[in-house]
Amino acid sequence: MLLLYKAMVPGLRQACRLRSTPSRLCIQACSTNDSFQPQRPSFTFSGNNSGTGGWRVMGTLLGLGAMLAYHDHRCRAAQESPRIYTKEEVSSHTSPETGIWVTLGYEVFDVTEFVGLHPGGPSKLMLAAGGPLEPFWALYAVHNQSHVRELLAQYKIGELNPEDEVPSTLETSDPYADDPIRHRALNVNSQRPFNAEPPPELLTENYITPNPIFFTRNHLPVPNLDPDTYRLHVVGGPGGHSLSLSLDDLYKFPKHEITVTLQCAGNRRSEMTQVKEVKGLEWRTGAISTARWAGARLCDVLAQAGHQLCETEAHVCFEGLDSDPSGTTYGASIPLARAMDPEAEVLLAYEMNGQPLPRDHGFPVRVVVPGVVGARHVKWLGRVSVEPEESYSHWQRRDYKGFSPSVDWDTVDFDSAPSIQELPVQSAITEPQDGETVESGEVTIKGYAWSGGGRAVIRVDVSLDGGLTWQTAELYGEEQRPRKAWAWRLWQLQALVPAGQKELNIVCKAVDDSYNVQPDTVAPIWNLRGVLSNAWHRVHVHVAS
């Protein structure tokens, strides 16, 4: 149903673009049909004239005319005195047949058209069908922005009866009320769910990022799990048996400890936003951190459950114990070949820098997949299974993928791109910062560099003149094991500021041991989700005279 729906929406969407041009054009376009009762558009399509279920088929009544008429009603509804609905009326609009309505405060919206375009996926928006958005916006606070409210305003069809009781604020029954207290040094990109990064100058202060300032990327409220009753469910393999592992059971597997850098796919997204708007949190350079992780190797646990590597493609699916009001949990998967490879060192980690995992980082158990995008390192791990297909989670299939700059939300086909696993080579400057003033004479430039898939960083080139000439930085940090360089290098360059220079355009770029390099500029790698932002990092500084 939703597929059909999605295929139909782009046309409507085109028509609805008119709405962003304000009232005059909108009113001019309105027809003589004065009924405010929203009337569903009806479509016909070849190969289905049955008229049963889904969209009603209305043959020749169909067409752009109907679409425009429908659009016109809505234009007027938004312009003139609002139509009043009861909560009961709203609650009966929960399907494409009836129309899909939602409320926010006292306002009522018909989002039928928008469902297929919802960046979080249609199913997420359908959870709110027939009722208030507040509980969901409280969960996904990314909605609470002016451009989202403007978008929503286009779908307004009326208001609730003022005598009806409505959620007073977004704070009602805050699902995040039990989230842990965080370190004040973190730069917060979103409170609900909590997403925050360390400030650049702290980020490269230590090779190992201290737990309290390790970047945090949560998708949902932080569950509060009891370590005594915690169980990890591992679905058994063919001829094996399922496991229900307590923490003590996990501790009995050989303890494996490795230094691994985690990076969010959205690290440095803010630079993509400067090219063109993207959907996502405005991470700067800090959605990356490094810790010493310890736990059981996933391959050992899978082997105990009777799994082995098979010739056919298979995936290990992880489910978190963090969930939304519908019970949907965070989920992701990695290929079985990686999970079963002892050299890939995938961990079910219960320690971070010698401490039990902090709640924000997955207490009591999270997955750590060295060399792979953060999104697969599922926190608060509840369930592990081996499946013939990737995880059906929204975050595996409808997010965390890369697209061409030419793809937008009207044309994106999430099935056309592979889920991000290994990340490309990356580096950024943490000192000095953009806009800073540096002393003349000598300048100290610092940063980090990392690459996915265990590929070691072999060189970082730094330029003071925007990329015309280059110097090579000194690399620091733990020795990189061949094929298992899971952790970043920090780097530093003491550079002479050319005499008389009033400003510097400092640039860095890293090279990994496959000799992959970072692209020069952001625009050609721009993508609608703002992921994989790994162009040369550039900061512009003034020189004190």
Applying CB under 8 A, the residues found at the interface with a second copy are: 313, 335, 337, 343, 402, 404-406, 417-418, 420-425, 452-453, 455, 458-459, 461, 467, 469-472, 482-483, 509, 511, 513-521, 524-525, 532
Catalytic residue among 118, 182, 481, 540: 118
Tokens of 523: 């625009």
Task: List the 437-438 sheet strands across, edge first.
Answer: 437-438, 537-543, 503-512, 457-463, 471-472
Question: Could you identify the residue written with the tokens 């990890």?
Answer: 232
**CA pair distance 208, 376, nearest whole angstrom:** 21
Catalytic residue among 93, 217, 315, 377: 217
* Residue 24: its H or E element: helix 23-29
Catalytic residue among 16, 264, 299, 317: 264
Catalytic residue among 400, 448, 508, 529: 400
- If the CB atoms of residues 294 and 458 are measured against a second copy, the closer one turns out to be 458
Q: Is 281:266 a contact under the CB 8 Å cutoff?
A: yes
* Residue 508 Cβ vs a second copy, minimum distance, rounded to whole Å: 11
* Residue 425 Cβ vs a second copy, minimum distance, rounded to whole Å: 7
Tokens of 184: 């004040």
Catalytic residue among 143, 183, 233, 383: 143
361 is catalytic: no
* Residue 522 Cβ vs a second copy, minimum distance, rounded to whole Å: 10
75 is catalytic: no
537 is catalytic: no
Q: Is 382:329 a contact under the CB 8 Å cutoff?
A: yes
* Residue 500 Cβ vs a second copy, minimum distance, rounded to whole Å: 22
- If the CB atoms of residues 261 and 323 are measured against a second copy, the closer one turns out to be 261
Burial 9-30 (b: 16+ CB within 10 A, else e): beebeebbebbeeeeeebeebb
- If the CB atoms of residues 397 and 455 are measured against a second copy, the closer one turns out to be 455
297 is catalytic: no
Closest CA to 257 of 377, 357, 350, 383: 350
**CA pair distance 438, 429, nearest whole angstrom:** 14
Question: Could you identify the residue written with the tokens 């985690």?
Answer: 262
- If the CB atoms of residues 213 and 458 are measured against a second copy, the closer one turns out to be 458
* Residue 131: its H or E element: strand 131-132
- If the CB atoms of residues 244 and 406 are measured against a second copy, the closer one turns out to be 406
* Residue 461 Cβ vs a second copy, minimum distance, rounded to whole Å: 5
- If the CB atoms of residues 323 and 421 are measured against a second copy, the closer one turns out to be 421
* Residue 319 Cβ vs a second copy, minimum distance, rounded to whole Å: 23
70 is catalytic: no
Closest CA to 136 of 168, 182, 102: 102
Burial of 505 (0-12, 13-18, 19+ CB in 10 A): middle
Residue 356, Cβ neighbours under 10 Å: how many?
14
Tell me the catalytic residues. Answer: 118, 143, 217, 264, 400
